[in-house]
Amino acid sequence: MYYRYKLCYIFKDMFYIIQNGMYFIRKSTQGGVKPYTLQIYFENKTYNLPIRKKDNGTFALGKDEKPNERAFDNLLILVNAFKKNPILLAGGKQTILVKSLPKS
């Protein structure tokens, strides 16, 4: 819950410069095979996407493994891929990653 409130605080402070697709990666509260969470701002909402670490050491988005899912060697490659290709969000919405939010 702390991260959700912290993100809302950041968004309120930076409201005038916020864009759809702004994001940051944080340590996950779930840990284990989901060590990180990708938080994305889109249309006045935040979306939390788990980042899984697969058995082979690569990273993938989502709670569960999917057939033919994209996997990435590291988080930087994952982010760069989704700066060019849209991420499917809840409700069928899509966005690309635009700019990382500053850490506070």
User: Domain segments of the chain: what residues?
Assistant: 2-95
Whether 43 shows a pLDDT value over 70: the answer reads yes
Give the C-alpha separation, 21 to 4, whole Å.
16
**2-95: which CATH number, 3.40.50.720, 3.30.505.10, 3.30.1370.140, 2.60.450.10?**
3.30.505.10
State the virtual CA torsion across 7, 51, 53, 100 in degrees, nearest 10: -60
pLDDT for 104 equals 57
pLDDT for 18 equals 76
CB count, 10 Å around CB of 86?
Answer: 12
pLDDT digits (tens, 9 = 90+) for 1-41: 445 445 555 555 555 467 899 999 999 988 788 999 999 99
Phi, psi (5° rounding) for residue 72?
-130, 145
pLDDT for 9 equals 52
Residue 66 in tokens: 């999917």
pLDDT for 12 equals 54
Q: What number of H helices and E strands is found in the chain? A: 2, 6
Helix ranges restricted to H, the chain: 2-13, 75-84
